[in-house]
Structure 1
Amino acid sequence: MPSSRRGASLALAFSVALGFGSAALAQVPVKVGVLADMSGIFSDIGGKGSLEATLMAVEDFKRLPGADALAIEVVSADAQNKPDIASNVVRTWFDSEGVDVLVDLPTSAISLAVASLVKDKNKVALFTASGTSELTGKSCTPNSVHWTYDTWALAHGTADAIAKAGGKRWFFLTADFALGHSLERDAAPVIAANGGKIVGSVRHSTDTKDFSSYLLQAQSSGAQIIALANAGGDTITAIKQAAEFGITAGGQKLAGMLLFISDIHSLGLATAQGLQLTTGFYWDVNDQTRAFGKRFAARNSGRYPSMNQAGAYSAVLTYLKAVAKVGSAKDGAAVVRAIRDMGPFEDPLFGRTQLREDGRVIHPMMLVQVKAPSESKGPFDYYKVLATIPADQAFRPLADGNCPLVK
């Protein structure tokens, strides 16, 4: 068994043949590879839920006119949050198994590691779970689509709102990998622009179990805001231990720079209430998002979709439409151009959406606040929307990213 199949007991495979169409129209093969964290600290925000969302996208594409032109197969593997393992999976998928497109890609380090490989093989990467804004900056490629969010958008949503509300002195608790570095870097000028100052920072390894020494440094720093520039299980652990240390009770506030609805569910509203965060998707916004959220939850043990899982659905559905338009999945750059040529379109989950030439998908983002337990009326009724940030303001201006594709 190839090394890319390590953890095969956690990997899932599913193939769907979308009819046969007319005899005159040969089916176009398309193979989708969901490369996600299936077992680690990011599995709740992507993982098997991203695979389920991808299968839902395939099912919904099947209902569209002309869908029988494509023969679609979906495979998946556990990235184990390790760039070397993820890269080995991708090479095997591309060289031996005919995978055309990657979805999810759970960390920024993994995404940066595979982006050049995707370009070299002329495939497509749908970055729906990674955050670093470098993917549409100096590391942009004509084969990359950064769909859901990025660190620039999160910083300019959450940090801007908190700084304008009076949070001037900040301490950063930062994961020591690409995502954490990007979150802190992109937030710093926003804080400074609002008259604020970063009074200290500390970096921690991924999957840290004990944040006590870091939290004590933050507590003694004199900061008003302790910014958590991490994600998934690390964010949950840090917030829980901050509560145990009485940090918020003592007057300091936590700022989750990257939080997901699954994190809020794990924390509980009693602990998470009042937290502000920026998100690209919330299931309870309109009739379409509610329908998707309830359908997803029915297939996912009652858990509603994170923005990463929603991103996997929308990105795959759009990708399949582009392949149908091109007539082949073999020229990845041509498929990405076809998505860009769609111009602004109405995505069922993200609203008005457009792919820019740097690979950044722009759509509205939302600043939300976690409800108090008394405000929640049912399962996963966790957010109240404070503001909607228009697409043209939610993401870094095209000219500021230094993407070599931008003329």
Structure 2
Amino acid sequence: MVAGEVSGDLLSGLLLGGLKARWPDLTSMGIGGPHMERLGFQAWWSFQKLAVHGFNWELLRRYREIVGIRDQMRKRLLKERPDIFIGTDAPDFNFKLEEDLRAAGIKTVHFVCPSVWAWRPERMEKIRRSADHVLCIFPFEPELLARHGIAATYVGHPLANVIPMEPDRAAARLALGLDATAPLVAILPGSRRSEISHLAERFIRAAALIRAAQPTTRFVLPVVPGFRAVIESLVQQCGLQDSVTILDGQSHAALAACDVTLIASGTATLEAALYKRPMVIAYHQNWLSWQIMRRKRLQPWVGLPNILCAEFVVPELLQDAATPQALADATLAWLDAPSQDPQRLQALQTQFVALHHSLQRDTATIATDAIQKVLQS
């Protein structure tokens, strides 16, 4: 198995639980993180080795290292010949590896269809060459893939079965030691180094503006290992030490506890939607990466909640629009919504509940059934 990023580790861990329930003696190894390791996964490399944001500078800087890891992985897997290879997300890393393994007769499954319906449709041919089967987390994807000769199964989104339909905000705040009544904003600037460098300062400066406008507002900020010192320094620079609670991980707890979240575009935005939380989505990267991505977009939306609802149900502030003031204003609008615009808030809750229901399936069982068929084919 190969999982990239925090979200890939989480999804792979949920899938691995189903695989081990079906095959208790299963042995798994490759690239992963703590969620997978808790289920006995042998991580040859950490998933953090694959976490790259953007298209040019960071990728170029780390290209040789990442390609070197893939080459080592390929040689080891061709020698050991596992029964099946499962690549979770990380398509730029996994597709080439899957293609080589499949050509050598090793069964391959790709978990999470790349967002070819949103951008980079040329990846369809890569998917067809690389994967014996694709496990899809959105209901419209299998039909789309079938039109290109790609076998796929809709398995639901694993997180839809983990996140409660009605999250307990009061219990989450109690567990985190947070004020039960103060307005609370969860700040999620991402898990990759480049996301932190592009968004963390913007988010924290926005938090300072929010506090200036509403002094009772408090903030909760989950950080992944290795970035706590950077975040603490930014919080101190903005004079927010008394207003921001920094957590080691626990992004789900932060989303359950908050009233609104200021969040980087990515899988976390879907998690926020499943927690039924209003959000302001932001995205920022270097200029060249943004120009490349912007030209490859197929839809007007970037955030997953907006894409899945097919409308701008939550604001997106991208690139130059993602200023601290604009981020603060959009967040304050959500904080004021219960009294100023309750219909907007209720409409959002209704849409997110419907979205949650549409993504609920027995993911582990359906995915494991599909993997078993691949093994028997």
TM-score of Structure 1 vs Structure 2, range by shorter chain:
0.3 to 0.5
**Richer in helix (by share):** 2
TM-score normalized by structure 1? 0.34
TM-score normalized by structure 2? 0.36
Of Structure 1 and Structure 2, the greater strand share is in: 1
